[in-house]
Structure 1
């Protein structure tokens, strides 16, 4: 409880329960990077009354076959948010103060990059970018995002990947500098940070949070839940929450058609990256 997925679900439910005229309870199933939640969901009826919240770590769990669930067991109902990712460096490290400098330096020596976990979002994100941009890197796992940030701020490593919501306070404090946004669109709050697409590298690394039900749930139920969720997430209450993470309330939430397609595409990309890293066969 209390993490980003939990908080987002609680914010979403505030208005959704009104539009569905039904009670909504947030039930935590901790353990295994979503494995327990996935196995629990598989035991529930396909009636739309059990909705699974998921983010990228759940896709990695599926790809690594750490639960009994498969991606085709799910239908995406609604996306709550799509948060892009920065490559950040220590503000005092003038050698890597721009993405051009980082690319040039990487030709001499791999970029020492802090990640939370092997096979996690930062690891896969940096791998994907390195393949596209030809930037050698060496991943150093610190076990948590907080420890990764501490390592970067202290100069133990040279770079890391952070979402804007994670990076904002550190950027404002002058501890880290965002040198690249791994996305196709600029962020209004960070107009001076170039995108990977503007640099000629078509790489998007995002943290999505959304909701899914089991395949076999009647389509009219899926559509009703999707419509209610999207309406709720367009409301000022949720919009304010999104703006706090530098996200656009007009584009972050999406309905079942868009989200289900993206969910399957994100899974395929995650599976390919994990295979490239040698973490799955």
Structure 2
């Protein structure tokens, strides 16, 4: 009898020690399929962290992603950018959705595009709900630009041309349903004009098309074409900001033109849906440190981009709000 009690007691002690050890330094999250993902937080990250940009190199999202990768401190490991472009950002996004939720692969995406994708038919479900929000660091206004030698001097010139020539004004948009598409669609709808939307896989492609005279106008966010404005290659005709940007004092807002339209854009960091909360908390701290780094702040300011940090909970709440704003105008960007 004593041997049985001793053996039973020994087994209980072993079980308690095992559970205690697991709970002390391993983050876990139960996945949709009932499986559990464990991450050893004492050794996280385990090698290079990959940050997927679902657009071509050189665009606004790519620029912000590379800045974050440069300034983030992930315990002496590096963060690298992986540009996986195509289908309006859906290819790279879905790759991260399907990735192992171990915190080694993350996504930086246009928040506007991530939320609008469901309303445009790009995704069958709200893809941002298939991911886990980590943090958002920056925001910026958008607008419409033309090449320096364009015949269009003002937004009013664009509107007049489009009124007289329906569907002939070609507008380049970096991604179906992205921020640039929303900007140009709401502009066209508010102005009562019909235009021809020309989609590209990223800002770099649409900029090249504008510079080459293949499209009349490009829409997007300021960081995507600010350097080209400074170099005298492009001219910005209108801004989605609530007021004129300090760096672009000559560019009127849409509101000044009588178009009731204000939209500020964010780039957000996402992880696969079942990533443990401990990993999200760790990344939150590292990204907040980036947002407080003066060199990063100065770099963003040079791109007419405001550092405006949101943690995971605040970020998720903003996406819920943005979803409710986009839903009523989804038909404008879906072509229905």
After TM superposition, the score normalised by the length of structure 2 is 0.65
Select the structure that is richer in strand: 2
Q: Which residue pairs with 2:127 in the alignment?
A: 70
Q: Which residue pairs with 1:44 in the alignment?
A: 100
Query: How many residue pairs were aligned?
Result: 274
Structure 1, unaligned stretches of length 5 or more?
A: none
Q: Counterpart of 2:310 in 1: which secondary structure?
A: coil
Deviation at 1:242, TM superposition (A): 0.8
Q: Which residue pairs with 2:80 in the alignment?
A: 26
Out of 122, 135, 140, which is 2:193 matched to?
135
Q: Counterpart of 1:28 in 2: which secondary structure?
A: strand
Q: Counterpart of 2:164 in 1: which secondary structure?
A: coil
Is 2:319 the counterpart of 1:263?
yes
Q: Distance in 2 between matches of 1:115 and 1:239?
A: 30
Is 2:219 the counterpart of 1:165?
no
Q: Counterpart of 1:192 in 2: which secondary structure?
A: coil
Q: Which has the higher contact order (CA 8 A, sep 6+)?
A: 1
Q: Counterpart of 2:73 in 1: which secondary structure?
A: helix
Is 2:139 the counterpart of 1:82?
yes
Q: Which residue pairs with 1:275 in the alignment?
A: 331
Is 2:153 the counterpart of 1:97?
yes
After TM superposition, the score normalised by the length of structure 1 is 0.75
Deviation at 1:180, TM superposition (A): 0.3
In the alignment, is the contact (CA less than 8 A) between 1:115 and 1:145 conserved in 2? no
1:167–1:14 CA distance, 2 compared to 1 (3 A): closer
Which stretch shifts more, 202-211 or 135-144? 135-144
1:279–1:10 CA distance, 2 compared to 1 (3 A): same
Is 2:183 the counterpart of 1:125?
yes
Q: Distance in 1 between matches of 2:200 and 2:69?
A: 33
1:68–1:164 CA distance, 2 compared to 1 (3 A): closer
Q: Distance in 2 between matches of 1:175 and 1:7?
A: 19
Q: Counterpart of 1:174 in 2: which secondary structure?
A: coil
In the alignment, is the contact (CA less than 8 A) between 1:85 and 1:182 conserved in 2? yes
1:260–1:198 CA distance, 2 compared to 1 (3 A): farther
In the alignment, is the contact (CA less than 8 A) between 1:181 and 1:196 conserved in 2? yes
Is 2:64 the counterpart of 1:8?
yes
In the alignment, is the contact (CA less than 8 A) between 1:71 and 1:264 conserved in 2? no
Deviation at 1:238, TM superposition (A): 1.4
Q: Counterpart of 2:184 in 1: which secondary structure?
A: helix
Q: Which residue pairs with 2:294 in the alignment?
A: 236
Is 2:171 the counterpart of 1:114?
yes
Which stretch shifts more, 228-237 or 216-225? 216-225
1:28–1:146 CA distance, 2 compared to 1 (3 A): closer
Deviation at 1:237, TM superposition (A): 2.7
Q: Counterpart of 1:136 in 2: which secondary structure?
A: coil
Note the alpha carbon deviations across 1:146-170, whole angstroms, 9 max, x for none.
4544554455543221433333343
Q: Counterpart of 2:181 in 1: which secondary structure?
A: helix
In the alignment, is the contact (CA less than 8 A) between 1:114 and 1:142 conserved in 2? no
**What RMSD over aligned residues (CA atoms) do the two structures have, in Å?**
3.6
Is 2:232 the counterpart of 1:174?
yes
In the alignment, is the contact (CA less than 8 A) between 2:177 and 2:334 conserved in 1? no
Note the alpha carbon deviations across 1:189-211, whole angstroms, 9 max, x for none.
11111112333433245553111
Specify the structure having the higher radius of gyration (Cα): 2
Deviation at 1:83, TM superposition (A): 2.9
